[in-house]
Structure 1
Amino acid sequence: MRKWLLIVIVGLLVDWWTISAVGAWLGGGVSFLLLLLSAFAGFYLMRSEGRKSWMEMQQQLQQGLPPGHAMLDGFCVLLGSVLLMLPGFLSDIIGLTLLFPFTRPLYKVYMLSFIERKLRNGGSFTIRRW
């Protein structure tokens, strides 16, 4: 758990630094407009890609197939859109790569290996309260 907290803190610090660097390079107004544009792009892509994932999941369920990959697509779309809505250029880049259908399989490979590793070791997925 502490490893993930450290990753989040370092990611936020890097995002803050990139906002400062881009602001110094392009100016504060342009930097702000780019961040605002990325938030709107995240919302739009979330709607369109999320709808595609939802339809694929429903189609697989109607055919009696497990919707595993469609659910991972939906999770990638959700995570990518949240990252795009957060202010920061590094989170925007990661969010965009999670939303685009041709780069999403790269993340799905790591997600599937994480899930497989957890299940092989007898681990379970629990939500802990602070």
Structure 2
Amino acid sequence: MAIDWSRTEAPSLDDIETIARGAFASLPAEFRGLCGEVPFVVQDFPDDDVITELDLETEFDILGLFQGADLAARESSNGHPEPTLIFLYRRPILDYWAEHQISLGEIVRHVLIHEIGHHFGLSDDDMMAIEES
């Protein structure tokens, strides 16, 4: 059955959050348990502070962001951990989707897992090595 693109709208912020929640639910229970209650925040773009802090050329240069203390820091924070959030940026995700032959669900799942990796204290290089192995 063909999709009627003349009536199809771009996925909304809520749609991306629904995809992210489904992707999270599909992860192994042990993995989800280690994550705890990490809220997902879906925004169209990163805030100007994020763009400046990460020295991004444009607001399209980042698909997601882990913000807060990683798991090790949370464990050693004496009960007062910095709040942890995972941001997903809808417009950069949709732009990436338009340019690649990957499903939207796969992209959101990849970004989510990548940001959760930061929650576990893994660097971008660590995660790249894991993905390549």
Structure having greater relative contact order (Cα 8 Å, sep ≥ 6): 2
- TM-score of the two chains, using structure 2 as the length reference: 0.29
Q: What is the TM-score with the length of structure 1 in the denominator?
A: 0.29
Q: Whose strand proportion is higher, 1 or 2?
A: 2
- Mark the structure with the bigger radius of gyration: 1
